[in-house]
A and B are shown apart, each in its own frame.
Chain A
Amino acid sequence: MTRRISSTHLFFLTLVVAASLFLIWSSAGASPTTYNLIVVVPAGVIVILLTLWILIGEWRAMSAGAVRKRTNLSETFGDILLLALFAGLCLGLTGVGFDVATFLFIWIGVHLCGERRLWAPPLFAAACTFLMVKFFGSLFPFPMPLLVL
């Protein structure tokens, strides 16, 4: 248990406020007319006010003695690792080919999700990749870069 606001929550709120400020600034720079800013400015201001409201609420709750369950660091790290691997897949699909990127992602992903056996994940990844290329991919209206299949 801890009395500090979660760092990932703070990161999320900072990201939201930064994105809102950037969107308002950028839209106003493009054209400062009412027509252009009719949604951006009110929405941006509401987002910033709500963020402050949530932050103040969290701080007040913590100062009043509320405790929050401490985040399991290894779980968070595992999630971030899988997210990073997923980012690799998304960026690598068109670069290294759908087949190779998917095969590697599923293989490593299965291990990251807790599989301990060594032989099952690559076999499963190969079968899955083959099926996805032949069935899922055949429904795509766009050409799909492949390296092996």
Chain B
Amino acid sequence: MIDLNAFSAALTILFSDFGPWIWVVPGLIIGLVFGAIPGLQISMSMAIFLPFTFGMDFLQAMLFLTAIFTGGAYGGGVTSILMNIPGSSASVATTFDGYPMAQKGLHNEALGIGLAASVVGCLIGYLFLLLLIQPLATFVLRLGPMEMAVIVLWGLTLIATLNDGSAAKGLLAGVFGLLLSQVGMSSTGVMRTTVGNPYLIDGISVVPAMIGLFAASELLRLRGNSYLVEGDKSHSVRLGGIMRGIGQAFRYPVSLIRGSMIGALIGVVPGVGVSIANLVAYSEEKRAAKDSSGFGKGDPRGVVAAESSNSSSEGGSMTALLALGIPGGAATAVLLAAFSFHNLVGGPAFIRDERDLVYAIILGNIVQVALLLILGLLLLRVLGMVVKVPLAYLVPTVLAMCAWGGYGITGTVAGPVTVMVFAGLGWLMRRHGYPVACAVIGLLLGRMLEGELVRTLQISGGNPLGYMAERPIALVMLAVLILSAVVLPVWRARKLKKA
């Protein structure tokens, strides 16, 4: 199940010098702090700090960004427990039992349970990826351009239809992103829609666009508030209670493993990811419990299920990213941008040619889990206070960093201007319920889709339907795509009507 040659090469890359680890601790701290600030999404912090990776080598960049991802998943749980405010959608289920525990004066224990469950969940998610990547590699290398094109369309459809809002708005955002990706020179060398602007020859610069859509537009939305959390809801954080909570989490091994497995499996499906995983794991835990009367009133099993699943879904979402080059959500979309930033393309070719790097990323993340435990313990007190930062100062400062980030990528005024244009677009989209993550993923996958479709046309001699009839995998995937595009929106509309 594991390619031992690549595995040992990965160990050499990781442990022969300190280089790959330099940025892991800062990444975890950034993730913990941003994750703990309600309203500031993990993907936003990853997008803001993406330009920093310009000077790093690829592995350093990946470990830095995945450290933000890992830290953010736990950071969001802290405010869920202490203030009943989820730092991100990944931590919604943590509030169900975490906050009632805090109200009973068991907030330290709840924080400890959350930390232990996050660490175990993350570990299981990456072990799942470690075992799965080799068999997946064997499978995905059999996929041709037609299958890849159908997978890209399927992924985009799922992401667009399974967002929190309307399916039509999700699809519009995703397809509009695809359309915008077509600006600039095509994969066959035709210059399109550059409006005479030399900055657009290579197309719209994805990273500044992503910073604008994810970060700047979100900050504009936060402008009206004084503080992230109003009132003075403070709790004293004590190490003894946290350590007791860590021990308590291991009294529920089945809940830990069940939550982690649910998270890892759900994380693989594009578009579902962390925001759904924690809710599914929580309801499954409640359903499976012999006595579920304590759920919602401060049952530790609820915190274990929610926190283990949101952390393990990270490993699951990395599976789709590494194996297929398709981001499962906003955070993995930033990781995919980091690939292109370092002139690499995620997907089958990457796991065929750079398997040692793939294993190094996975192993690096497993080590990050141990660091998360230590840093989590050290920073819990600070994380509880971070929500008291006045927004009047936070918003303009981070906005300025967004503009600087745009320049850091392009080295010209085109970067900040792209951030500005997409900040405006993102502001309009968020205001009317269009998921910006769908537009970013469309923008990221558009070029790949075009390349795969052109290759399909070339291979099939201009008869893609006849060619498809000879490709059973493509036929099955097309059926799944049609089902996702038609059945899911209808199912959601019915569910909304019933509600």
Contacts and interface: CB of A to CB of B under 8 A. Distances in A.
Interface of A: 6, 8-9, 11-12, 15-16, 19-20, 22-23, 26-27, 30-31, 33-36, 38-40, 43-44, 46-47, 50-51, 53-54, 57, 75, 78-79, 82-83, 86-87, 89-91, 93-94, 98, 102, 105-106, 109-110, 112-115, 124, 128, 132, 136-137, 139-142, 144
A83 B179 contact: no
Interface string B221-236: 1011010000000000
Given A8-B432, A11-B428, A43-B175, A141 B411 contact: yes
B457 A35 contact: yes
B190 A30 contact: yes
Interface stretch (B99-107, B130-138, B265-273, B398-406): B398-406
A113 to B, nearest CB: 4
A98 B390 CA distance: 24
A86 B401 contact: no
Contact of B192 (A9, A26, A53, A94): A26
A47 B417 contact: no
Given A106-B396, A113-B396, A90 B419 contact: yes
A9 B428 CA distance: 7
Contact of B224 (A78, A89, A136, A140): A78
A99 to B, nearest CB: 11
Interface string B344-371: 0000000000000000000000000000
A139 B405 CA distance: 10
Given A6-B432, A8-B428, A86-B216, A124 B446 contact: no
B172 A47 contact: yes
Contact of B450 (A9, A33, A38): A38
- A-B complex: 4 closest residue pairs judged by Cβ atoms: A109-B396, A142-B411, A90-B416, A113-B392
A114 B394 CA distance: 12
21 contacts: A8-B428, A22-B193, A23-B183, A27-B193, A31-B192, A33-B188, A39-B179, A43-B175, A44-B179, A46-B171, A54-B169, A86-B420, A87-B420, A91-B416, A109-B400, A110-B392, A115-B390, A132-B401, A139-B51, A140-B51, A142-B407
A54 B173 CA distance: 12
Contacts of A40: 179, 182, 192
Contact of B400 (A33, A44, A89): A89
B223 A82 contact: yes
Given A44-B179, A86-B423, A109 B399 contact: yes
Contacts of A20: 176, 179
B13 interface: no
A39 B446 contact: yes
B220 A109 contact: no
Decide if the interface of chain A is mainly helix, strand, loop or mixed: helix
Interface string B21-65: 000000000000000000000000000000110110000000000
A100 B111 CA distance: 43
Given A6-B432, A36-B186, A132 B404 contact: yes
Nearest to A116: B392
Contact of B404 (A27, A46, A98): A98
Contact of B168 (A54, A90, A115): A54
Contacts of B446: 39
A9 B226 contact: no
A55 B494 CA distance: 20
Given A86-B423, A109-B399, 16 more contacts: A12-B434, A16-B176, A27-B182, A27-B190, A27-B192, A30-B190, A30-B191, A33-B190, A38-B453, A39-B450, A79-B221, A90-B420, A94-B407, A113-B396, A114-B392, A128-B400
Nearest to A106: B396
Interface string B194-221: 0100000000000000000000100011
Nearest to A44: B179
Nearest to B410: A142
Nearest to A22: B193
A98 B415 CA distance: 14
A38 B457 contact: yes
B479 to A, nearest CB: 19
Interface in B372-426: 390-393, 395-397, 399-401, 403-404, 406-408, 411-413, 416-417, 419-420, 423-425
A124 B271 CA distance: 40
B398 to A, nearest CB: 10
Most B-side CB within 10 Å, residue of A39, A40, A90 = A90
B264 interface: no
Contacts of A19: 176, 179-180
A54 B172 contact: yes
A134 to B, nearest CB: 13
B427 interface: yes
Nearest to A39: B450
A147 B68 CA distance: 34
